[in-house]
Structure 1
Amino acid sequence: MACAAASAFGVALRTTAVGSGPVRDLARAGRFATAEAVVTGDPQARPGKGRPMIIIRARAEAVDRTGVRVPVLLIASDPRWLRSIPSQRVRLRGRFVRPRGPDLLAAVVIVRGPPTMLGSPSTVQRAAEHLRARLRAAVARLPPDQRGVLPGMVVGDTSRMDPALAEEFGTAGLTHLLVVSGANLAIVVGAVLALCRLAGLGRRRAPPVAVLAVCAFVVVARPEPSVLRATVMGLIGLLALFTGRGRQGLPALAAAVLLLVLIDPELARSYGFALSVLATAGLLVLAPPWRERLARRMPGPLADALAVAAAAEVAVAPVLVLLSGEVGVVSVFANLLAAPAVAPATLLGALATVTAPVSLPLARLIVRPAGLAVGWIIWVARTAASVPYATIPWAGGALGASTLLLGAVAAALILRSHRLRLLAAAAMAGILIAVVAMRVFAPSWPPPGWQMAACDVGQGDALALAAGPGQAVVVDTGPEPAPVDRCLHRLGVTDVPLLILTHPHADHINGVSGVRHGRTVHKVLITPRTSGREARHTSGLRTAPAEPGQQWRVGDLTLSVLAPLTTAPALSPDDDGTVINNASVVLVARRPGFSALLAGDVELEAQRALETSVPHVQILKVPHHGSRSQDPAFLAAAHASIALISVGAHNDYGHPSSTTLALLHRLRTQIHRTDKEGDIAIARTRAGLTTIPRH
């Protein structure tokens, strides 16, 4: 009752603070204002439609000279915001809007321009940022993947990590290694206590030293939900050690959760916090009995590792299904394989972190063996992610979590009954036979003789045109590297003679590193009306403008450039939306028995300018993900029998438009969509061209 009353009181105070006052009044009216705020979290860069979107958590302390103290979320585009450090006071101007999510925020501020720094960060945060920067310098000579992962494992700094690799970690069930949590803290505290023991410090003097190490670790790693939970629980455990009482894990976890939720009620809505708590609960409740049973049939260390990995995975599975709509199949085995390398990587990385400010050359020597351990973890993540059916689709949301829990209860009942185990084994054998039969008799993907493929990259475009054995011309790359990389891998593409980026929007160019991953890209074509945003993705590659009238030949494939027209205006870095879309490169691809019009994202103005020059083709890549901005005469001029729409499921733009779909139906065009069918291949048969989806 006391906890419930305290929680209700704390939540009431927070909701009253964020739901009233001048900041919320500005948000309700959608007005612009000048504000002073203190940055409370690291800036996070995320891909946007044009420039990258930078998200910063902050605490507003003044708006239009009125003193306030409420949490806000800043959304900016100026890259200078990435230099801001927690505890730094800044002045900004932006439009205040009401928050839509469940977070306890007074407003979301759409910021204009760079920040005006009003002072330096606190001494503690400056020291923390200095340590993080020196660690980045220490790992700079490691291979790219290792220098991106090691700081993430040690201090949670994933700023240099390849997004494609991060997605592979997620598929393999190893994302928790990139988030500082209880495992990292336990490794650091264990090492500090061992050193105290070696130094002759007794049971009374060692815990205070460990507490100082914990506090320093939290400051450097930033107080994220999982770090806070692990910190409070670790401090409770150290207090038990200091007072001489036996340490009990479950009460310590319960106390940590209660304290943190009372201090910050918003943690009760944090999925990261929930996953961290559930994983720890699984280790405390499920792992011990499972370890005992497994130890009867296998060596003790293997039983320990298997019980820990399985308990954590089972405990967090309902929440993961709730979030992703997928069930990981290989994650337990991936964690088993990665586990031996986690402690060496973390300890050596932590040692390098404290050594780098004193001696950078010595820190570089220390991170070399740490890089080897990280290299093993990366290999495990990539291998596990490439296993067929590494994740199984499942219903998302509350329905998915409920059905998974029911399935777990059913599995527990089956394991207790010999007769039910036999029935379950027979059913699984039947399902396995059916799956194998479907794989044997179903059409293979990609089909032999495929001509073109539309890769399912979500809300974006990525097309591949076959150009010979292991070769393909790639047109656009989607918004992220991993999906296009996987699609090209499935197509067997190892060489890209030509990469064409139709226009500089993130959903067409941000996946370039995925195309380059393990492949040779010989040349890149870009729109001559570019704003220059492609440059950071194409560093080190030969680029050339795609001028109207040009023709490119790769094997028997001919590519003709129709647009952008020479009359189109040049772009500036501030242009966005329709202006950039109409600057898209428009291509006609031909080879014997195959022709396609690849229209980028051109909208009404550019389509009308191209109406008279559009040739008859068999396939039309519908412009702009099937948006409403379509010229009927442009679509009709192509006389295409097949229309491909590259679009993301449940996107926020309403693509494809029902008006565009109705227009294509009237033109008697077969419509194929990546959000419904996944990757779509076009193959040539005796009867003509046919589409074969992968799903």
Structure 2
Amino acid sequence: MKGAAPDPTAERIDVRAACAAASAWLALAVCTGRSVRAVVVVAALALVIGAVATVLARADGRWAALGLAAFCVALVLIPFAGRLFHARTSLLVALAARHAAVTAELTVTADPRPLAATGVGGAPRVLVAADARAVVAFGVRHGTDGAVLVLASAADWDGVLPGQRVRVDGVLQPPLDASATTVALAARAPPTLLGRPPWWQRLAGVVRADLRRACAGLPDLARGLLPGLIDGDTSRLDPVLQQRFRLAGLTHLVAVSGTNCSILVGALLVVLRRLRVRPGWCALAGMLTVAGFVVVARPSPSVLRAAVMACIALGGLARGRPRRALPALAAAVVGLLLWDPALAQDAGFAMSVLATAAILLIAPGWSAALRRRHLPGGLAEAVAVAAAAHLVTAPVIAAIAGRVSLVAIPANVLAEPVVAMATVLGFLAAVLAPLSLGVGASIAWLAGWPVRWLVRVGEYFGGLDGATVPWPGGLDGALALLVAAGAVVVLARRTGPRRVLAAGAAVALLVQLPVRSATSGWPPAGWLFVACDVGQGDALVLRAGPHSAVEIDTGPDPVPVDRCLRGLGVTDIPLLVLTHLHLDHVGGIVGALHQRHVAQVIAGPLAEPASGVADVDRALAPRGLHVRSPPPGARFDVGDVHLDVLGPPRAYHGTRSDPNNSSLVLRATVHGVRILLPGDAEIEAQQAMLAAGVDLRADVLKVPHHGSAYSDERFLAAVHARVGVISVGANNDYGHPSPRLLQLMARLGVPVRRTDRDGDVAVCGSPGHLTVSLHGVAASTA
């Protein structure tokens, strides 16, 4: 029909450029980690093939595709070989091989990233990407260049912006991965700032800081999530919510992606078109919006990649010919690989490209098909985009995580309608907050409502038992899932199999997940005490009543302790006990507080280490909670739990480990069952209690200090325990539990359960009939 809009699904797809880009990508990925000579040989071979194919194409045009692919391979490999040669022959690599102590002048290239591994006393550490400008080694200054990863204390680098030049002392280390070309620098002192960062980085810092201030009036979870949606700032995002988003397949919402940029530019274009602004001015406004987005979110490789992908997707959709954008996508892939060869093995890059391709090629057809089946247009587009993006990125996620989300599509469908509103309002708040904090806060308050919905969606779907299922990881797992997904798509084209697949999906989502949760057998009936499997640390729970418990320590990480408490149905913690402030006992405090009411907090008498004090204060301050230290003899009655404080009489100083020996030592009585909870008290503290004649008798012993060798046999014998529980992490660096300790427990005739082998350990029953139930180690692997 004359004037009818073209059907995007009926366009012929030109895949030659896409195949060429894929060939270049694959060649670069394979050559990463190879010798310079091998890369040069492959590049030369590609040039020869390209030349031969070009000659043959004069007679038969089908050879042109091969020639294009070969030349693209050579295009990315030739400069890569030069970079590789320069990196491997640089002064930095030579000094790193000697573990040289240097003073380095660096330019920071990205925000410091927190590390899971911690420093002395559990102090947080960060990884800082930087480019070298000069080094002073063995008394001689050398001008140099090359990428450096700085390993340092988080406190030392707080507030350091990308683009900042710094001088830092440290020891160079060779890369852990032989294929890497980046050396590491273990910093030994805080950095000295040289000059100021570029204006755009300072502007980005101001905007990001003011957006955080504008979000101050939002609820806890929304306050941390909104900046993540806008500029990727997840510094205050609740770690438990972050994990729930990961399980629900919503992680892309808090990672700077082409979606964020597309929404902003798309919203602007809709307004400008309504105002009948000329196309040229619309294009200029779109470019300025993309530039503003890049500045606010920081011009890192991931942000620039997102901006490129967003422009391609918008360009294709705006022209009504999304499939014609495929060559532009292919050209962008080649260009980005030329700019940063490391993207060839970057999972985020792979998912970004695949998702963009799916939105361009798959989503329009699926959306049209759903509309033909009378699904409303907005819902049809949301379902199509979510399903297409999840389908193509699931193999990459499975390869990395070894798991597949069963709830990603429904979670994204429910989240999609409010993402645009939250993004647009949040970006307005970010732009206006530096000009007027009050106006920015008002707009952030409006943005908080759709963000609250996203929190609810993420909490619900990410909190379902069985939200993800195990899947083989690595390349084999990715290929297997790709084949399975392809089979599902083929079968879904036919009416009969499509109905069977729909019924299976409904059963999985509406029956399997709730039934699995209800029939898991956990928690066991009549449980009194649970040692949660939180890795190398303590997180212990005493049942105080329905949905109520006394929590003893919180483990090293928020996610496992939240998982354990959620599995036990605990929503109220009338008393939180922190035996001492080492990270393996307080690092997970945010997880214990997550969506739970806490009435009071007590801790041991020693306010060390400083990092633990800071973590606890930071978590408790927003709730108006304060820590107090009870003396020996103090008693607490909390529901069904009675607690006696047995020690310490004072804070210890001058012992092998003052924080460990200063642990609160408690004896809990729950329905007549006595449980001794000595924290990490070591020989000095144990002997002091023995000398003071403290009554240590109990039915259950939480073995001190994760089963370390620093326990007195007389202390263990004085408990007369019938069951011992060791809270310890698998394959820990400390050798816990000690073989000597295990031998002592065996000699005393006390059976021992360990969280590293048994998972969550629950003690049930009565004084005359104790039983132990286990919730295997798989429970702690979300």
1:23 to 73, 89, 92: 92
Counterpart of 1:457, as a letter, is V
Per-residue deviation at 1:41? Answer: 0.7
Q: Provide the TM-score with structure 2 as the length reference.
A: 0.79
Is contact 2:652-2:659 (8 Å) kept? Answer: no
1:594 to 670, 673, 677: 673
Per-residue deviation at 1:121? Answer: 0.6
Counterpart of 1:184, as a letter, is N
Q: Summarize the Cα distance change of 1:194–1:171 in structure 2 as closer, same or farther, 3 Å threshold.
A: same
Is contact 1:28-1:97 (8 Å) kept? Answer: yes
2:76 is aligned to 7
Counterparts of 1:372 and 1:545 in 2: how far apart (Å)?
40
Secondary structure at the counterpart of residue 335 of structure 1:
helix
Per-residue deviation at 1:267? Answer: 1.4
Counterpart of 2:307, as a letter, is T
Counterparts of 2:418 and 2:449 in 1: how far apart (Å)?
9
Q: Summarize the Cα distance change of 1:480–1:686 in structure 2 as closer, same or farther, 3 Å threshold.
A: closer
Counterparts of 1:331 and 1:237 in 2: how far apart (Å)?
22
Q: Summarize the Cα distance change of 1:637–1:685 in structure 2 as closer, same or farther, 3 Å threshold.
A: closer
Counterparts of 1:530 and 1:19 in 2: how far apart (Å)?
47
Q: Which stretch has the larger CA shift, 546-555 or 513-522? A: 546-555
Per-residue deviation at 1:331? Answer: 1.7
The equivalences for 1:102-501 within 5 A come to 104-197=180-273, 201-235=277-311, 248-301=324-377, 302-412=379-489, 415=492, 444-501=521-578
Is contact 2:697-2:719 (8 Å) kept? Answer: yes
Q: Provide the TM-score with structure 1 as the length reference.
A: 0.88
Question: What is the RMSD of the two structures over their aligned residues, measured on CA atoms?
Answer: 3.7
Counterparts of 1:421 and 1:580 in 2: how far apart (Å)?
62
Q: Which stretch has the larger CA shift, 9-18 or 69-78? A: 9-18
Is contact 1:237-1:247 (8 Å) kept? Answer: no
2:726 to 630, 645, 658: 645
Is contact 1:529-1:570 (8 Å) kept? Answer: no
Per-residue deviation at 1:347? Answer: 1.1
2:618 is aligned to 536
1:58 and 2:130 equivalent?
yes
Q: Which stretch has the larger CA shift, 357-366 or 430-439? A: 430-439
Secondary structure at the counterpart of residue 286 of structure 2:
helix
1:688 and 2:764 equivalent?
no
Q: Summarize the Cα distance change of 1:429–1:42 in structure 2 as closer, same or farther, 3 Å threshold.
A: closer
Secondary structure at the counterpart of residue 139 of structure 1:
helix
2:662 is aligned to 583
1:618 to 683, 691, 699: 699
Q: Which stretch has the larger CA shift, 443-452 or 57-66? A: 443-452
- Once the two structures are superposed, what CA deviation does each residue of 1:162-187 show, in whole Å capped at 9, x if it has no partner? 22222222222211111121111111
Secondary structure at the counterpart of residue 145 of structure 2:
strand
User: Once the two structures are aligned, what percentage of the paired residues are identical?
Assistant: 45
2:40 is aligned to none
Per-residue deviation at 1:589? Answer: 2.3
Q: Which stretch has the larger CA shift, 370-379 or 545-554? A: 545-554
- Once the two structures are superposed, what CA deviation does each residue of 1:58-80 show, in whole Å capped at 9, x if it has no partner? 11222212212111112222524
The equivalences for 1:24-103 within 5 A come to 24-46=93-115, 48=118, 50-64=122-136, 65-77=141-153, 79-101=155-177
Counterparts of 1:653 and 1:136 in 2: how far apart (Å)?
39
Counterparts of 1:352 and 1:483 in 2: how far apart (Å)?
34
Q: Which stretch has the larger CA shift, 593-602 or 32-41? A: 593-602
Is contact 1:522-1:542 (8 Å) kept? Answer: no
Secondary structure at the counterpart of residue 299 of structure 2:
coil
Secondary structure at the counterpart of residue 442 of structure 2:
helix
Counterparts of 1:674 and 1:629 in 2: how far apart (Å)?
19
Is contact 1:207-1:242 (8 Å) kept? Answer: no
* Structure number, greater radius of gyration: 2
- Once the two structures are superposed, what CA deviation does each residue of 1:115-166 show, in whole Å capped at 9, x if it has no partner? 2111111112112222222222322222332222111111111222222222
Per-residue deviation at 1:239? Answer: 7.9
Counterpart of 2:754, as a letter, is R
Secondary structure at the counterpart of residue 529 of structure 1:
coil
Q: Summarize the Cα distance change of 1:195–1:24 in structure 2 as closer, same or farther, 3 Å threshold.
A: same
Per-residue deviation at 1:221? Answer: 0.7
Per-residue deviation at 1:7? Answer: 2.7
Counterpart of 1:218, as a letter, is V
Counterpart of 1:113, as a letter, is A
Per-residue deviation at 1:358? Answer: 2.6
Counterparts of 1:686 and 1:94 in 2: how far apart (Å)?
58
Is contact 2:228-2:254 (8 Å) kept? Answer: yes
- Once the two structures are superposed, what CA deviation does each residue of 1:626-645 show, in whole Å capped at 9, x if it has no partner? 45656666545544343323
Counterparts of 1:499 and 1:443 in 2: how far apart (Å)?
27
Is contact 1:455-1:462 (8 Å) kept? Answer: yes
1:560 to 644, 669, 687: 644
- Once the two structures are superposed, what CA deviation does each residue of 1:466-506 show, in whole Å capped at 9, x if it has no partner? 22344321100122334323432332333323211122122
Q: Summarize the Cα distance change of 1:431–1:158 in structure 2 as closer, same or farther, 3 Å threshold.
A: closer
- Once the two structures are superposed, what CA deviation does each residue of 1:563-594 show, in whole Å capped at 9, x if it has no partner? 446472079xxxxx945334333333234542
Counterparts of 2:620 and 2:741 in 1: how far apart (Å)?
34
2:629 to 537, 540, 545: 545
Is contact 2:464-2:517 (8 Å) kept? Answer: no
- Once the two structures are superposed, what CA deviation does each residue of 1:188-235 show, in whole Å capped at 9, x if it has no partner? 222333454456543344323322321221121123454322322345
Is contact 1:530-1:570 (8 Å) kept? Answer: no
1:517 and 2:594 equivalent?
yes
Secondary structure at the counterpart of residue 146 of structure 2:
strand
Q: Summarize the Cα distance change of 1:517–1:419 in structure 2 as closer, same or farther, 3 Å threshold.
A: closer
Q: Which stretch has the larger CA shift, 658-667 or 228-237? A: 658-667
Q: Which stretch has the larger CA shift, 98-107 or 111-120? A: 98-107
Q: Summarize the Cα distance change of 1:173–1:563 in structure 2 as closer, same or farther, 3 Å threshold.
A: same
Counterparts of 1:38 and 1:351 in 2: how far apart (Å)?
31
Q: Summarize the Cα distance change of 1:636–1:319 in structure 2 as closer, same or farther, 3 Å threshold.
A: farther
Question: Which ranges in structure 1 are unaligned for 5 or more consecutive residues?
Answer: 572-576
Counterparts of 2:314 and 2:380 in 1: how far apart (Å)?
27
Counterparts of 1:285 and 1:298 in 2: how far apart (Å)?
22
Per-residue deviation at 1:441? Answer: 10
Is contact 1:104-1:266 (8 Å) kept? Answer: no
Counterparts of 2:470 and 2:684 in 1: how far apart (Å)?
41
Counterparts of 1:260 and 1:288 in 2: how far apart (Å)?
26
Q: Which stretch has the larger CA shift, 177-186 or 134-143? A: 134-143
1:574 is aligned to none
Secondary structure at the counterpart of residue 537 of structure 1:
helix
Q: Summarize the Cα distance change of 1:412–1:461 in structure 2 as closer, same or farther, 3 Å threshold.
A: same
Counterparts of 1:247 and 1:441 in 2: how far apart (Å)?
46
2:37 is aligned to none
Counterparts of 1:433 and 1:116 in 2: how far apart (Å)?
57
Counterparts of 2:476 and 2:741 in 1: how far apart (Å)?
33
